[in-house]
Amino acid sequence: MPHNNNLADAIQGEHPRRTALKQMAALLGLALSAESLNVLAASSHSSMERATKLLTPEQLKMTGEIAELIIPATDTPGALAVDVQGFIDHYLMECVSKSEQQTFIAGLNKINSVAEEKFSKVFLACAHKQHIDLLTALDNGTAGFTQGDQHFFKFFKSLTLLGYYTSEPGATQELAYLAIPGGYKGDFPFAKIGKAWSLN
Rule CB under 8 A: say whether 89 interacts with another protein.
no
Measure the CA angle with vertex 128, ends 124 and 131; round to 5°. 65
State the nearest-atom distance from the C-beta of 67 to another protein, in Å. 10
With beta carbons less than 8 A apart as the criterion, state whether 63 and 55 touch: yes
- Which one, of 76, 40, 54, 90, lies nearest residue 165 by Cα? 76
Name the segment binding another protein (CB under 8 A); options: 34-42, 56-64, 115-123, 164-172.
164-172
Rule CB under 8 A: say whether 2 interacts with another protein.
no
**Residues 20-59 within binding reach of another protein (CB under 8 A):** 20-21, 23-24, 28, 43
Q: In this structure, how many other beta carbons lie within 10 angstroms of the beta carbon of residue 186?
A: 4
State the nearest-atom distance from the C-beta of 145 to another protein, in Å. 13
- Which one, of 188, 166, 171, 159, lies nearest residue 66 by Cα? 159
**Residues 95-124 within binding reach of another protein (CB under 8 A):** 95-97
Q: CA-to-CA distance for 94 and 151, rounded, in angstroms?
A: 21
Q: CA-to-CA distance for 200 and 192, rounded, in angstroms?
A: 17
State the nearest-atom distance from the C-beta of 154 to another protein, in Å. 5
Rule CB under 8 A: say whether 87 interacts with another protein.
yes
Interface with another protein (CB under 8 A): 15-17, 20-21, 23-24, 28, 43, 69-72, 74, 87, 90-91, 94-97, 132, 135, 139-140, 154-155, 157-158, 161-163, 165-168, 171, 174-175, 177-193, 195-200
